Each structure stands twice: as structure tokens, then as C-alpha cells.
Structure 1
Amino acid sequence: MEDLQSALSGRGLTVSTHPEKGRCLVSIRDFSPGDVIISQEPYASVPNNSSVDVKCDGCFTSSNLKKCSACQAVWYCGSMCQKLEWKLHRLECQALAGLSKNRRKSVTPSIRLMMRLYLKRKLQSEQLACNAHTICDSELRPLGTGLYPVVSIINHSCLPNSVLVFEGNEAVVRAMEPIPKGTEVLISYIETAGSTATRLKALKEQYLFTCTCSRCMKVGLDDDIQESAILEGYRCKDDKCNGFLLRDADDNSFRCQQCGLLRKKEEIDQITSEVKLLSDKASTSLSSGNYPEACAMYKMIEKLQLKLRHSLSVNLMRTRETLLKILMELKYWREALTYCKLTIPVYQRIYPIVHPLLGLQHYTSGKLEWLLGDTEDAIKSFAKAVDILHITHGRNTPFMKDLLIKLEEARAEAAYKLSPYEG
């Protein structure tokens, strides 16, 4: 513990103990938005490899990969990563090589991570407790799983002041807002785009605690009830009304809180049932790679949800996110842009001003606009993305450098289009 405190003090941090939370990471200096609070290589990590998508076990890259000749189960991008991993992988390799080909295929990333944790503890005679973190790329797509003992000290809040991102498989925690000296560093363990009840349920099931952040303490209050009804509840049946519904006293209907119109529970249950049935079929089509069929089905789901859900509904937003991904796979760029823009107002409502998902949605919008020749719009979207992502991702990362280059190229292209013709 003394070694940990000594190492952290040089970074402006200390470990404190809270009577309800246990260990906490607390700042002993001021941090500004975008500052790196802590970065850490994984104690143990494994990529999410599949038959069609493999990554280097050391750095998670997908380039120039070769299999380990002994176990035929692990991939490396070159000798450097293989040498760095060899002390641990030598033991793992012996265990994997002893399995039949079929049993080797059944070793999931979670099993491999636990195996590596056990072997590393055995090598180093260490005991530690830490949570597993999903390792994501710069666009928050899952790559693998890792154990980060120091990062695991950081507690959760549904209104976090910091964000956890990854550079390769290195965990990097950056401040999203000013963090004064003496403030606890907080990240979010879960997706926060949901009602308070949904978040509390997810945290209880996955992490076995009840969140007491300022956002969750509002559960059951009028503002929270209204927010929950908009995010996950139902809309008024009158298309001209933008009101939200709450269950009526008779328990057989819902009443609009704006115009007072009643909507029968049977009607809502019927549409909900149709959406569920279609969603199961659409998910199967999507999983099998039948994008045209999946696209048609998700559009039918969207149409039903528009009858049922508020325009700022998380459920409707998720359907549109899926349609955006499908349309990009189909290279229907103009329609993809339409769906991307439909999601942004909801993102702005449910996420803080500085949030990586909001920044990445502006980035996607910019890429689509630029591809379609809407250069001026692309510049605006890229600029909005930069305003957010330079804080969450850092200015000097390869991802941000690429985004800044795109922004400058789009500006140069716009300037060229406006310049007088020279014959």
C-alpha cells in the first residue's frame, strides 16, 4: 500500500477509504479537462478473437499476425510482442497445446483471462483484487478484456468527472471537467443512457452495489419520473401532442401528462408484442449477415416505435443506431447520414456536453457528409467532434491526429471550392 501511495502521489493522486464505498482514488492537485489522471498497462489481458477477426495478444493490432507455432491458438504481430508476452504465454501455451483442437476452440476470452491471472499470480506470487474492464478501440468498439488493478480503485458515478478510454490495451483515465484538489475521481461502469431505475438495476446485477450519486438520489422524484417516462415510457396517442404518459389510476390505461388523453394498456401491449417479435427476427437476420432483410425489419420496428415511444426515447434511439450501422454496411450513405442526425439530439439530451459517444456521433456525421460532398456540413461536424474528443481521447493520440487532419483537409477543400477559377 505504501508503494502504491508513493507511486500515485507523483501523479497528484492518493488512495483514500470511504466508509460505504471502500477504497477511492482522490486528487491531491487540480486537474483540467483533458488531463491524463492515470494510465496503466494491463496486469493481464486477452483479445476477443473469433474465426474471422483475430488480434495480437500483446498490442491488440490486427496487422501482420502469425500464430504461435506451439499452441496454434494465440496470435502475435511480431517478435517484440511475442518476447514481451513469452514468460507468461510459455505456461499458458503448455496448457493450451495439451488440449484437443475442439476443446481449444471452446476456451473463451473470459476463461483465458482467468487462466492468465492465475498464471501471473503464480509467477509473481502476488494477490490482488480488481474488476475486469472491456478494452475498446478509439471508436469504443470492444476489442478484448483486461485487468487494471489501479484503475479498478476508481469508483462509479452516473455523473462521472472522468472517462476511461484505451490506447491499444493501455487504460487511460482523463478528466472530463475540472477536478479540484481533494475531489474523488469517478468514472461510469455502465452505459448511462437510461432511466434511474434501469441504471440502478444494471449496477446491482453486474457490480452488486446501489449507486448513491446525485443523479440516482433523485429516483422517484417528479423530475426523475418525467425523465424516465420520456426515455423508456410511452408517448401521447395524439401526433400533435409531445406529451409523455404515466399509468392512470384505473391501471388499465396511461394518461398524457400534457393534454390528458388516455391510451389503453391493451393497445400499448399489442404494439410492444409486435416490436418484440420483429426484434427477434431482425436480430437473427443481422447475425447471419443478411443486411437487406435486417434493414427492412428494423425499419418496421422503427415505424411501430414511432407510434409508441417519445421522440427522445432510448429504445427508438437504439433502433436508429442499428439502422445506421446496417446502412453503412450496405453503403447507403445518404440514408445513413439521415439516421445519424436523428440520433444526435437524443445523445445531446442523455449525455453530458463532454462525452465520447456524442463526440463520435458528430465524427460519424462528418465522415458521411464529407463522403457525400457536403463539405461545409462536414467541417461543422468535425469541429464539434474535435471540441469533445480532444478532451476524452487526448490531442496527441493517432485517432485525434487523424481527425484533425480530416478537419484541415475538409477546410482546404471548402476553400478551394470557393476560390475563383484560374484558367
Structure 2
Amino acid sequence: MEASLMADLQRFLQDRCLGVSNLPQKGRSLFTARDFRPGEVILSQKPYICVPNNTSSESRCDGCFKTNNLKKCSACQVVWYCGSSCQKSEWKLHRDECKALTRLEKEKRKFVTPTIRLMVRLYIKRNLQNEKVLPITTTDNYSLVEALVSHMSEIDEKQMLLYAQMANLVNLILQFPSVDLREIAENFSKFSCNAHSICDSELRPQGIGLFPLVSIINHSCSPNAVLVFEEQMAVVRAMDNISKDSEITISYIETAGSTLTRQKSLKEQYLFHCQCARCSNFGKPHDIEESAILEGYRCANEKCTGFLLRDPEEKGFVCQKCLLLRSKEEVKKLASDLKTVSEKAPTSPSAEDKQAAIELYKTIEKLQVKLYHSFSIPLMRTREKLLKMLMDVEIWREALNYCRLIVPVYQRVYPATHPLIGLQFYTQGKLEWLLGETKEAVSSLIKAFDILRISHGISTPFMKELSAKLEEARAEASYKQLALH
């Protein structure tokens, strides 16, 4: 990055009580210049570029990512809009993109994935800023993209070939003589390490975007900040009390899992070895216990809550609480049965097949209960699927039961202020209220609000809706209490 732009960036960050420093093994890192309290906004940034996650089954507006009342761009037949307002706001960028996509043969347009579109828009925006059609600002300029790490030297041959193929398609679409194929491939590598999934308030992915300032923030498996999105704006809030001169960290990955699982995920996608405080415990007694609980087997005694470790004599697995041996044969048989049933399970069942899918996943759950620890991640994931499907078919009581099973696991595997815990309490509260358990609903909604106000703030439409539901539930609970007297 040019020295003048770096100086401008430092001034921008200083105005927000932040600063950038280079750390060994980490590179650029974001630090605080004052104390931050839980829930305080540390940094926010609009995307340099972004696109919705359009698929063959679901399309989103290019401007607001909504899915209602969409009309396809009549020229390129790739992009969707919900109305003239979004179309106008996107037109400066889409005008050149539209021409480029229209030149492409119709058969080839189906290969224009969100990631390909993101790259096309990257170069179009760079050109428009160079031509002064779009403004260049301290936080919205291509130099910030150039400064991002690509890890090109660590990419294997197979991935490099994929990037080359994608670069060829981008080049075919753009037809910019000045664009170098290797540069495009390197930017794809930057996307892999730096692009963020843009999620709604309930953490459901809606699109992808490049937020170069946010990308300065490093990963930790025990982060002190959280990244959420308000529409397409990336917002980083403090999860804990962060003291002055501390490094700000967020989580790049799903942190519910053993150290080995997390390290594998980080290495595969982000090409680095995490050395955070949590990962530094690898191989220590607590880490071994946690890994065995989250990803290992349960004790043969159903009443025992102990975790199992491999028997030194290779006969099976020994419970570290009651010392009961669970044979390899028993574990192998259950694992085999589970694999057979799991292979039949649909990942996205249709509405017509949902009831059958529920029964199948219940069978999977029963086998997992026999095989895994009650706090295991695989069991948690199955129950998450069951909860979603039961909600879809409006079987509320069973859905609530699963919600209550999931919450304690979330509380174990995530930090106390993690938004997923808050969202689960929100779901639980809504179900309790729907089923007439008003007192319990108030308790759950309070817990949801106390957590989500930290990650989501209090002024967003989502939080205002939650607050209104809480007040309404409180009023109903008070009325019921008065009626009893």
C-alpha cells in the first residue's frame, strides 16, 4: 500500500481509537487505543464489493439481498432486483458488468457463480474508480485489496489449477487487455482468505463480500470481538471487556470442535496454523478431555457422564470417570450402523419428503445417543437439523424439546456472549410463548436479549423486534399472574 494511503488509513483508525501493528507470524493486526466495553462497535465497513448467494433454487436482489418480488435484468439475465430503487443504486457498477455478461454465451452464463461475479465486479469497480466514475475514499479503494494476503506460495497445484480456470472465465467475461491472469488467480486466493459471508441477523448466509479493513482483524478460537452484518454493513463489536493496547480478534471459522478439527479447518481455508490461547492448550489434559467429549464416544453406562479414551491394550475405550471398558467391536458396530443410515439422509429435503426425513434423522439421533457423548458435536448437528425441520412443519412441541436439548451444548462449546446462544434462546422463547408457557418465554427472551444486545446492538430492526416481543410476553405473563389472584 502506498505510504500516503497507509497514513490516511492510520489517521482514520486513530480517530476510532484503533491502530494497525505488524506482529510476527500474523502480519497486520488491529489494536485498541482505548478500552472497549462489551457491545461497543469497534469498527464498521461497507463492502468494497459484494454479491448475493444466488443459486438455482433461490435468487436474491443484487441491491438489498431480499428474495421477494424479484425481476431478472432483461439484458444479462443473471442479476435480479426487487425494484427500481435497488436497480438504480447498483447501476453504476452493474452497467459495465451487464455489458460484459451479455457478451458471454448464454450456455456459459450458468458458470458465473457468486465468486466469479465478485471477481468481475472487483475489476469493474477498480476501473470505475480509476476513471473517477466512482469515488475513492480512505476505506473504499483498491489499494486496500492489493494489501491483502493471498498465501499464493502455499497453494497446492490442484487449487492453483482451479484458480487458473476461474481466472480464464473472468478474463473471458471482462475482456480487459490490462488484466493479468496471474493477478486474477492471486485475487481468487485473496478471496479465499479474506472474503466474508454476509449473513442476516439470524446468521443465515445471504451473500459474500470483500471488507478489506475488517480483514486486518486476525483470528482467534477464543475471540474478544464478533463480526455481524447490518444489511450489507460489516459491524465488529466487542464481546468482552477489551483493554487498551489489546489485539482485536474475531473467529474465522466454526469454533465448536476439537483443537485438531479447528486447526484443520483453518489450514485448509486460511492456510495458517492458529496459535491462539485456546489452541496452545493442544495435547494438555483439559484439551484431551474436551476433544473426547465433543468428538468422542460415550460411556457404556448410560447414567455415567464420563468421557472415553483409547485403552492402552487396544481392547476398546475406557471411561475416565467410572473406568468401564467399551469394546471396539461395540463401537465399530454402532458406527457402521450410523454410517449406513446417515448415507440415506437428505441434506435438503423437499416439503413433501420432510416428514420422512424427520423420522430418518430421529433414527440417526438414536444411534448417535448410543454412540456419542451427550455433548458431542455430531449429535448437536443432528438435533439442529431436526429442530429446523420440525419448525418447518410446525410441530412446535417437539421443536421446543430439541431446542432445550441444544442450548446446554451451545453453552458449553461457545463463549457466553456468542450470538448463536442468544439466537437459540430467542427461538426457545418464541416456541414457549406459542405453546402458552409465558413465564418460561419471558425468561428465555431476557436471556436472548442480554446476549444479542452485545453482538447485535440495541437499535437494529431485529433487536427492536426482539425487544417488542419481550415486552409483549412480559405483559401477558403479568396479566396471567393477576388472573390467578
TM-score (norm 1): 0.96
- How has the CA–CA distance of structure 1 residues 227 and 284 changed in structure 2, closer, same or farther, with 3 Å as cutoff? closer
After TM superposition, the structure 1 = structure 2 runs for residues 390-405 of structure 1, keeping only pairs within 5 Å, are: 390-405=453-468
Identity of aligned residues (%): 63
Secondary structure at the counterpart of residue 249 of structure 1 = coil
Aligned match of 2:42: 37
1:115-153 CA-partner distances (Å, limit 9, x unpaired)? 111222233343422511001000001101000000000
How far apart, in 1, do the equivalents of 2:462 and 2:258 lie? 32
Q: Per-residue deviation at 1:169?
A: 1.0
Aligned match of 1:177: 240
Q: Per-residue deviation at 1:315?
A: 1.1
Give the counterpart letter for 2:270 in structure 1: Y
1:51-80 CA-partner distances (Å, limit 9, x unpaired)? 442222122223443322221221223333
1:290-312 CA-partner distances (Å, limit 9, x unpaired)? 11111111111111111111111
Q: Does structure 1 residue 78 correspond to structure 2 residue 83?
A: yes
Aligned match of 2:200: 137
Give the counterpart letter for 1:181 in structure 2: K
Aligned match of 1:328: 391
Aligned match of 1:340: 403
359-368 or 120-129: bigger deviation: 120-129
Query: Does the aligned pair in 2 maintain the 1:61–1:168 contact within 8 Å?
Result: no
Aligned match of 1:209: 272
Secondary structure at the counterpart of residue 235 of structure 2 = strand
Secondary structure at the counterpart of residue 301 of structure 1 = helix
Give the counterpart letter for 2:238 in structure 1: A
After TM superposition, the structure 1 = structure 2 runs for residues 198-277 of structure 1, keeping only pairs within 5 Å, are: 198-277=261-340
Q: Pick from 27, 31, 38: which aligns with 2:32?
A: 27
How far apart, in 1, do the equivalents of 2:393 and 2:100 lie? 42
Q: Does structure 1 residue 122 correspond to structure 2 residue 185?
A: no
1:3-22 CA-partner distances (Å, limit 9, x unpaired)? 11111111111111112100
How far apart, in 2, do the equivalents of 1:74 and 1:388 lie? 37
Q: Pick from 375, 400, 405: which aligns with 2:438?
A: 375
How far apart, in 1, do the equivalents of 2:340 and 2:97 lie? 44
Aligned match of 1:294: 357
1:244-289 CA-partner distances (Å, limit 9, x unpaired)? 1111112241111112221122221221122122222112572686
Query: Does the aligned pair in 2 maintain the 1:196–1:228 contact within 8 Å?
Result: yes
How far apart, in 2, do the equivalents of 1:163 and 1:241 lie? 36
118-127 or 413-422: bigger deviation: 413-422
- How has the CA–CA distance of structure 1 residues 80 and 134 changed in structure 2, closer, same or farther, with 3 Å as cutoff? same
1:143-202 CA-partner distances (Å, limit 9, x unpaired)? 010000000000000010000000111100000111111011100000100011111111
- How has the CA–CA distance of structure 1 residues 227 and 287 changed in structure 2, closer, same or farther, with 3 Å as cutoff? farther
How far apart, in 2, do the equivalents of 1:387 and 1:14 lie? 30
1:13-49 CA-partner distances (Å, limit 9, x unpaired)? 1111112100001111111111111111101111012
1:385-412 CA-partner distances (Å, limit 9, x unpaired)? 0000001000000000000000001111
How far apart, in 1, do the equivalents of 2:233 and 2:483 lie? 49
- How has the CA–CA distance of structure 1 residues 191 and 61 changed in structure 2, closer, same or farther, with 3 Å as cutoff? same
Aligned match of 1:389: 452
Structure 1: give runs of 5+ residues left out of the alignment: none
Query: Does the aligned pair in 2 maintain the 1:285–1:293 contact within 8 Å?
Result: no
- How has the CA–CA distance of structure 1 residues 420 and 357 changed in structure 2, closer, same or farther, with 3 Å as cutoff? closer
Aligned match of 1:188: 251
Aligned match of 2:416: 353
Secondary structure at the counterpart of residue 286 of structure 1 = coil
How far apart, in 1, do the equivalents of 2:348 and 2:16 lie? 49
Aligned match of 1:88: 93
Secondary structure at the counterpart of residue 82 of structure 1 = helix
Query: Does the aligned pair in 2 maintain the 1:285–1:294 contact within 8 Å?
Result: no
Secondary structure at the counterpart of residue 312 of structure 2 = coil
Q: Does structure 1 residue 155 correspond to structure 2 residue 218?
A: yes
Structure 2: give runs of 5+ residues left out of the alignment: 1-5, 131-141, 149-189
Secondary structure at the counterpart of residue 283 of structure 1 = coil
Aligned match of 2:21: 16
How far apart, in 2, do the equivalents of 1:335 and 1:53 lie? 28
How far apart, in 1, do the equivalents of 2:385 and 2:347 lie? 13
Q: Pick from 313, 321, 341: which aligns with 2:376?
A: 313
Aligned match of 1:54: 59
Query: Does the aligned pair in 2 maintain the 1:71–1:96 contact within 8 Å?
Result: yes
29-38 or 98-107: bigger deviation: 98-107
How far apart, in 1, do the equivalents of 2:129 and 2:286 lie? 52
25-34 or 245-254: bigger deviation: 245-254
Q: Per-residue deviation at 1:421?
A: 9.3
How far apart, in 1, do the equivalents of 2:333 and 2:18 lie? 54
Give the counterpart letter for 2:44 in structure 1: S
- How has the CA–CA distance of structure 1 residues 33 and 289 changed in structure 2, closer, same or farther, with 3 Å as cutoff? farther
